[in-house]
C-alpha cells in the first residue's frame, strides 16, 4: 500500500508503539487520526487527536464517524490500545481482569467493527492488531493478560480468513518486551535498553502496511535478540 494520503486510525496513539506508528505514518504522508483517552502529544497538519475510550462503544463510534464524515473511508486501522496488570490468578483484583478484557479484546473488536464496512466497500484496507508474545505462550503472574492476548491472536486468525476475499488484510503482531511504560504495574520488571524499541516495532508495522497488494503478512513475531544483555 502506498501510504501517502491514506486515512489511518491508531488507537492508543499517545504512547509507546502507537505513538511511534503515528509518527512514521505521518512521515510517509498519511492522514492520521489518533484515538486517545487523554490529550495527544503529536502536532502535525495531517494529524487529528480524537478523545475516546475504546471500551466505550458510543464514544468510539462518534470518533470513527468523524473520520468517515471528513474522508469517507478508512484505509488503515492499528489496534494498539492495551494494558496489562501483573499478579497471581487468585490475587488479581477482579476489576483489573475486566479492565484488561474490556480494553485489549472488546475495544479492539469495537474498533474493527467500525472500520471494516468502509474497507470492505472499497475492496482494500489493512487492520493491524497488536498482541504480544504473551499471546503465543503463557507466563506466570500474567495469566489474565495472556488470556487477553491469546484472544487477540484467535480473533485475528479468524478475521483474516473472513475478510481476505474482500481485499482486506489483517496482521497480528507479537512483540516481545518493549521499552515503554507497560511495566509501570510490575514490581519486579523495569524497562531497559535491551528491550525492543517502540520505533523499531513501528517500523516493522509500516513495512507490513507498505507490502504489495497480493502480499499478506498474517503474523509478525518480534523479539529482542539478547533480552537480558
Residues known to be catalytic: 145
Sign of the CA dihedral running 204, 4, 121, 112: positive
d(CA 201, CA 197): 7
Alpha helices in the chain (DSSP H): 16-27, 57-71, 94-101, 107-122, 143-163, 198-209
CB of 170 within 8 A of CB of 127? yes
- Residue 131's closest CA among 188, 96, 81? 81
d(CA 65, CA 113): 12
Alpha carbon 102 to its chain's center: 14
Task: Name the DSSP letter for residue 166.
Answer: G
Amino acid at each position: 500500500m502506498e501510504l501517502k494520503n491514506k486515512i489511518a486510525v491508531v488507537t492508543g496513539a499517545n504512547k509507546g508503539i502507537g505513538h511511534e506508528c503515528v509518527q512514521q505514518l505521518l512521515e510517509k504522508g498519511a492522514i492520521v487520526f489518533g484515538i486517545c483517552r487523554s490529550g495527544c502529544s503529536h502536532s502535525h497538519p495531517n494529524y487529528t487527536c480524537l478523545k475516546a475510550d475504546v471500551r466505550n462503544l458510543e464514544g468510539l463510534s462518534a470518533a470513527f464517524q468523524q473520520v468517515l464524515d471528513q474522508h469517507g473511508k478508512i484505509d488503515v486501522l492499528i489496534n494498539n490500545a492495551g494494558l496489562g496488570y501483573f499478579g497471581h490468578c487468585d490475587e488479581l483484583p477482579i476489576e483489573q481482569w475486566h479492565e484488561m478484557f474490556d480494553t485489549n479484546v472488546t475495544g479492539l473488536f469495537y474498533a474493527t467493527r467500525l472500520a471494516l464496512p468502509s474497507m470492505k466497500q472499497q475492496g482494500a484496507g489493512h487492520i493491524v492488531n497488536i498482541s504480544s508474545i504473551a499471546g503465543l505462550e503463557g507466563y506466570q503472574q500474567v495469566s489474565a493478560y495472556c488470556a487477553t492476548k491469546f484472544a487477540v491472536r484467535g480473533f485475528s486468525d479468524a478475521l483474516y480468513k473472513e475478510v481476505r476475499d474482500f481485499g482486506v488484510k489483517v496482521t497480528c503482531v507479537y512483540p516481545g518486551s518493549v521499552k515503554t511504560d507497560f511495566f509501570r504495574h510490575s514490581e519486579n520488571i523495569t524497562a531497559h535498553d535491551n528491550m525492543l524499541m517502540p520505533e523499531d516495532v513501528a517500523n516493522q508495522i509500516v513495512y507490513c502496511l507498505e507490502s504489495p497488494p497480493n502480499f499478506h503478512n498474517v503474523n509478525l513475531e518480534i523479539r529482542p535478540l539478547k533480552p537480558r544483555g
